[in-house]
Structure 1
Amino acid sequence: MSFVNATLQAVAAPAHVVGDESVYLPHAQESARAVRGEIVIELTMRHAGNRSITLRYELQGPADAPVVFVAGGISAHRHLAPSAVFPEAGWLNSLIGTDRALDPDRRRLLAFDFIGADGKLDAPIDSSDQADAIAQLLTALDIPSLHAFVGYSYGALVGLQFALRHPSRLQRLVAVSGAHRAHPYAAACRALQRKAVVLGQLQCADAQGLSLARQFAMLSYRTPEEFEERFDAAPEIVNGRVRCAAEDYLDAAGAQYVARTPINAYVRLSESIDLHRVDPADIRVPTIVVAVEGDRLVPLSDSVTLVEGLGTYGQLRVLRSPYGHDAFLKETDRIDAILQSALRGTGEKA
């Protein structure tokens, strides 16, 4: 039942469907069918052996439309954007909609919650594990192949692994702000963030530790130029302590993250970024690499190395943005223009 390459030691067990929430919209909206569901798979993980894993997914779009898998950073999830069926806000709202490249009336959009996102798996998680899980999800949903995989940040790492391990199931990859390895500077930043979590746990202040880790991460996601523009105000003395202009922003980011993220999920998915490594020369799927000047986590030099390794399969697009690593969430029109070009010709409906 599985298309997984056995030489890569990925499990090929059938998936067990746990639940499915399917809704058909009447009349003109019927093309925008939205489905949520869960399946249980048996997965041979690279560093953790055989595991029973529950995959939670969401699929939206016409049944006969080309399927595009979309994956984001480690805090992303299966719900991409509001729909008539599931109206709550998603994590990619501005890049999905009518006349966008990711238009659910013309393409069938598939996303899932990353392995480990629920915090229940306390084991090292490799980006290759995520790719193999996606392959099993496609099999369970009777989707032979993807017309495209669009990955942002951690999702780009998973996309590179999917292209490497399951090339027959993918026509093209768009990898935004993600490369073939974790840059040593970025890995060091994440290591310190995880130490902040551990320190919080030792002090019985779990939430504070996770909040601090997220605040450190926010500094690496953005750029000094953005902070200069937004927070160039004199410090204030509050209750006898000096408080800089950016602290309210950072505190809010930390609090929001703590409210939705299990500590174990953060730690294991952060580690997963650092475990990631592929040889670009082994990838034989057309790939567009999108890099951002000023990205402190994925330097332009790494994106160039990735594209050079991809050879004739790789193309590079470079954005200049004050938003650094988070540009894909802020420069939505520019990212959409790249996606429009990248996804053209993937069998979409006229």
Structure 2
Amino acid sequence: MAETLQVRRTTGSAALQWAALSTGQRPDTEAGQHACGWFHLDDVVFECGALLPRVRVYFETWGRLNAAADNAVVVCHALTGDAHAADGGGRPGWWSGLIGPGRAIDTNRYFVIASNVIGGCAGSTGPSDLAEDGRPYAMRFPAVTVRDMVAVQMRLLDALGVRELALVIGGSLGGMQAWEWAVMASGRVRHTIAIAAHPAFPPLGIGYNEAMRMAIMADADWQNGEYYGTGRTPQAGLAAARAIGMLTYRTDLLFEERFGRRTAEAGDGAPASPRFAVESYLRHQGDKLNRRFDANSYLYLTRAMDSHDIGRGRGGMEAALRQVRGRLTVIGIDTDYLYAPRDLRRAARLAADCGVASSYRELSSKYGHDAFLIEFEPLSRMVEEALREPVR
């Protein structure tokens, strides 16, 4: 089985230097430095039993792996996120407020790794990529689960020479990956922080995901997923899906404060055009997502979220939790509609009952589910406090 790494530094004198590394070798990065690259691996078997002969994983790193190879931190992204979690290449990352020199996840201390999930569309293999027959996979791409994502990430870490993880952290879909990391690599992960994520995705979330998929598939330009190269993509469907999602990610308090009943600047009152400011906002969010995300990836990744249940096939939730060896911190958000803090508090308590060194913290915010991408100051304090706790 052939596995190769390609790494490019984005800072310093070697900014354009590429190096091909074989499995087990480590990229020579300086403390705090940012690098990006691709991990190529063969014969990836998915949970559903399907096999892809070739898979590409895009990843980014910050900092340097220590001699003991045990200071690594894995950062897992959310549904429409990507590997660019922190500053690098002249661009801020989506968690720059949390990751960097002197920050809660200190890149002078830790070797931080983030990768784009398989099934996505930001550098790793997904439905928009070409299959062996030269045509895009489209709906022929295998069904992906959160466990598939983590299994590929584990192989990436092996290739990077990482022996042990100081921390795995993520929010939403990233938090689901963190839960799976705690179980799948229990002897390798010292601390897991799962933010705004259940150990098993709830039925309300599945329902909203199905509504979003229905919006995409109802768009005639979806063409049963075979829209690549046709000049027509399901932009209206993906925009509608995004609008549904945004209504669950934020709060009524925030919408009242930001929009109230203000009318749209160009609103003419016609049913097909926005009349209120909140409508214009939702349409704008849909347009933004269409410029950077693939509709089929949206279908696949929401299905992966639906399948998430750490107890599935392991004898139930409690049996899965008993496999966890490292410390677990669960962070809820008091205004989160989809990932109710009462559920996450209960999950942390159940983990403790199963012998896990588990604790629960709660972020207070008007931003709802998206608070983990916005409230950097209080979240940083929580992460710093959690990392000071003994592993056992």
User: Residue 249 of structure 2 contacts residue 368 of structure 2 at CA under 8 Å; is this kept in 1?
Assistant: yes
Pairing of 1:156-175 with structure 2 (within 5 A) = 156-175=175-194
Deviation at 1:141, TM superposition (A): 0.7
User: Residue 336 of structure 2 contacts residue 368 of structure 2 at CA under 8 Å; is this kept in 1?
Assistant: yes
Structure 1 CA distance for aligned equivalents of residues 32 and 233 of structure 2:
45
Counterpart among 198, 205, 212 of residue 193 in structure 1: 212
Rate the CA distance shift 1:166–1:251 in 2: closer, same or farther, 3 A. same
- The equivalent residue for 2:328 is 287
Question: TM (normalized to structure 2)?
Answer: 0.79
- The equivalent residue for 1:46 is 47
- The equivalent residue for 2:98 is 95
- The equivalent residue for 1:213 is 241
Deviation at 1:18, TM superposition (A): 5.0
Pairing of 1:263-274 with structure 2 (within 5 A) = 263-274=295-306
Deviation at 1:329, TM superposition (A): 1.1
Rate the CA distance shift 1:346–1:90 in 2: closer, same or farther, 3 A. farther
Counterpart among 78, 85, 99 of residue 80 in structure 1: 85
Structure 2 CA distance for aligned equivalents of residues 15 and 100 of structure 1:
37
Q: Which ranges of structure 1 fall in alignment gaps of 5 or more residues?
A: 1-13
Deviation at 1:247, TM superposition (A): 1.6
Query: Aligned partner of 1:216: which letter?
Result: I
The range that moved more, 57-66 or 213-222, is 57-66
Deviations 1:123-180 (A, max 9, x none): 3211111111111111111101111001111011011111111111111100000011
Rate the CA distance shift 1:263–1:248 in 2: closer, same or farther, 3 A. same
Query: Aligned partner of 2:350: which letter?
Result: G
Q: Does 1:104 align with 2:136?
A: no
User: Residue 65 of structure 2 contacts residue 162 of structure 2 at CA under 8 Å; is this kept in 1?
Assistant: no
Q: Does 1:333 align with 2:377?
A: yes
Structure 2 CA distance for aligned equivalents of residues 227 and 200 of structure 1:
28
Structure 2 CA distance for aligned equivalents of residues 125 and 276 of structure 1:
10
Q: Does 1:58 align with 2:90?
A: no
Structure 2 CA distance for aligned equivalents of residues 290 and 328 of structure 1:
9
Structure 1 CA distance for aligned equivalents of residues 280 and 76 of structure 2:
29
Structure 2 CA distance for aligned equivalents of residues 87 and 258 of structure 1:
24
Query: Aligned partner of 2:252: which letter?
Result: P
Structure 2 CA distance for aligned equivalents of residues 151 and 234 of structure 1:
35
Deviation at 1:30, TM superposition (A): 4.2
Q: Does 1:179 align with 2:198?
A: yes
Deviation at 1:48, TM superposition (A): 4.5
- The equivalent residue for 1:246 is 278
Structure 2 CA distance for aligned equivalents of residues 234 and 216 of structure 1:
20
Deviations 1:192-213 (A, max 9, x none): 0110000114576611110110
Q: Does 1:226 align with 2:254?
A: yes
The range that moved more, 309-318 or 47-56, is 47-56
Rate the CA distance shift 1:48–1:136 in 2: closer, same or farther, 3 A. same
User: Residue 15 of structure 1 contacts residue 140 of structure 1 at CA under 8 Å; is this kept in 2?
Assistant: no
Rate the CA distance shift 1:48–1:339 in 2: closer, same or farther, 3 A. same
The range that moved more, 298-307 or 228-237, is 228-237
Rate the CA distance shift 1:132–1:232 in 2: closer, same or farther, 3 A. same
Structure 1 CA distance for aligned equivalents of residues 103 and 5 of structure 2:
33
Query: Aligned partner of 1:218: which letter?
Result: M
Rate the CA distance shift 1:335–1:261 in 2: closer, same or farther, 3 A. same
User: Residue 5 of structure 2 contacts residue 159 of structure 2 at CA under 8 Å; is this kept in 1?
Assistant: no
Counterpart among 254, 278, 298 of residue 339 in structure 2: 298
Structure ranking higher in helix proportion: 1
Number of corresponding residues: 330
Deviations 1:60-94 (A, max 9, x none): 103328111111211111111223xx112322122
Q: Which ranges of structure 2 fall in alignment gaps of 5 or more residues?
A: 14-28, 128-136, 223-231, 312-316
SS of 1:91's equivalent?
Answer: coil
User: Residue 210 of structure 1 contacts residue 263 of structure 1 at CA under 8 Å; is this kept in 2?
Assistant: yes
Question: TM (normalized to structure 1)?
Answer: 0.88
- The equivalent residue for 1:71 is 76
